[in-house]
Chains A and B, each alone.
Chain A
Amino acid sequence: MIVLGILGTGIAARTAMHTATHSLQLAHPGTDDEGFQVVFVSQKPGTSTLGGHDIMSAAEFCALEAETKYFNPAIADSRHRKQAATLMLHQGVSPLSLSDPSTLILPDVTMEPGWLLPYLNTLNSNVRIGKYFHAGVSTTVSHHNEIGDYVTFGHRVACSGNAIIEDHVTICTGAMVMQGKPDKPTRIGEGAVIHANAIVIGDVVPGAHMAGNPAKPVDPIQLFGGEPW
């Protein structure tokens, strides 16, 4: 039995669930659907199944007897995603990248494992993407982009050419990053958050929250009474 543990039971996990069988078949061509088992791994108690798949704790998942075991951290918060992935790697479980058949990846795209590309994602040429990249539905990553580790995209995010997106950046639904120049790319600093429907036209300092068109720094506590999630 080949087992995939989707870490988390939230929105991302429920979206990731539908790409699981396709991704497992890519990794193990020729295996029957009956040879695969998909489970959710969660620390929170609650219902025992989700979408017809079992929910188990991390300890139960690690103790599970299986021929091959994979995990994918389908957790939108990048810090929690890193924690969960690190825990699984220590337990000797290997990451599986999840992508939908509708994903379009053009030539010369370098990706570290553990990504999640749920539906209609486009990755243009000359793109480098770090580990555990997490995209929403119908996102576009354009040419000559460099994306760091644990980067999170919401639905419909468009990232134009010549941009550098550092580690742990979150770009929310519908936001756009406008293009830089080959000698001076647009740089989104580490841990920055681009809010929904914002349009970023220049560099963003690390840790900043940006909103509006053109995007300006905002105070998330004033806007939402805290972090937006």
Chain B
Amino acid sequence: MSRIGIIGTDGLALDLLTVLDDTLGTHYPSLATQEREDVIVTDDPWQATAAGLKACAVDEWVATTTASDFFAITEGNGKARQALSEIVKSSAARPLAMIHPTTEVRGNKWQDMGAVIGQYSFFCDVESIGQHFMCGAFTIFGPGTRVGNFVTAGHRVVCEANVIVEDNVTIEQSAVIAAGTAGTPLRIGTGATIKAGTFVTADVPAGALVAAPRKEHES
């Protein structure tokens, strides 16, 4: 019997758990049919119990996993996700992509390494997606986009085309990254944060914080 460990208790994780059978049926047909046990891996078991699931501490999970187990990290903070991935790296379990069944991946089939993706997202000819990528619902990633490791994208984020999103970048809800060209892609530097609703039209340096100007309304 294989176990599936959902590490973290993010809202998106709980959404995806409700459709876990369909998610596995779409992307892991062999896993969907066999007997399995779903556990929430967290050091705060209250949340898991609230969702009616079996909880398991992180240390216990690392110690007891076997090669037939899978895990997905659903922690919204990129840095925390990276830290968790370092901890569970020593265990025998393999990363599992939790891609909502309504998400559409067209053209180039990128190799998913533990991606967690919400409903109705759209990936068209995306070149690559890094480790433990996490994104919300209704996101759109266009042709020629390359996404690094531990990248987080909120709901309704759009990366139009030919965008390079480097490691540990956070893009908040409704932000739009304009299209680059194939020769000169638009680059979002390592560790940068794009605040909600921002329209990014130029390269962003590493570690920068980009926000739309916030103004008071004249009534």
Contacts and interface: CB of A to CB of B under 8 A. Distances in A.
The 9 A-B pairs with the shortest beta carbon distances in the complex, nearest first, are: A196-B199, A11-B161, A14-B143, A196-B176, A173-B176, A18-B106, A155-B140, A137-B140, A137-B122
Interface in A29-74: 51
Contacts of B58: none
A120 B179 contact: no
Contact of B158 (A51, A102, A120, A174): A174
14 contacts: A18-B106, A18-B124, A51-B107, A119-B104, A137-B122, A155-B160, A156-B138, A173-B158, A173-B176, A173-B178, A174-B156, A174-B176, A197-B199, A197-B212
A125 interface: no
Contacts of B130: none
Interface of A: 11, 14-15, 17-18, 51, 102, 118-120, 136-138, 154-156, 172-174, 195-197, 224, 228-229
Contact of A120 (B120, B176, B178): B120
A15 B79 CA distance: 33
A217 B37 CA distance: 57
B107 A14 contact: yes
Contacts, number: 67
Interface residues on B, range: 20 to 34
Contact of A14 (B124, B138, B176, B201): B124
Interface in B182-212: 197-199, 201, 212
B142 interface: yes
Contacts of B143: 11, 14-15
Contacts of B160: 11, 154-155, 173
A138 B140 contact: yes
Given A14-B107, A138-B120, A156-B140, A224 B179 contact: no
B122 A120 contact: yes
A10 to B, nearest CB: 8
B174 interface: yes
Interface in B72-111: 104, 106-107
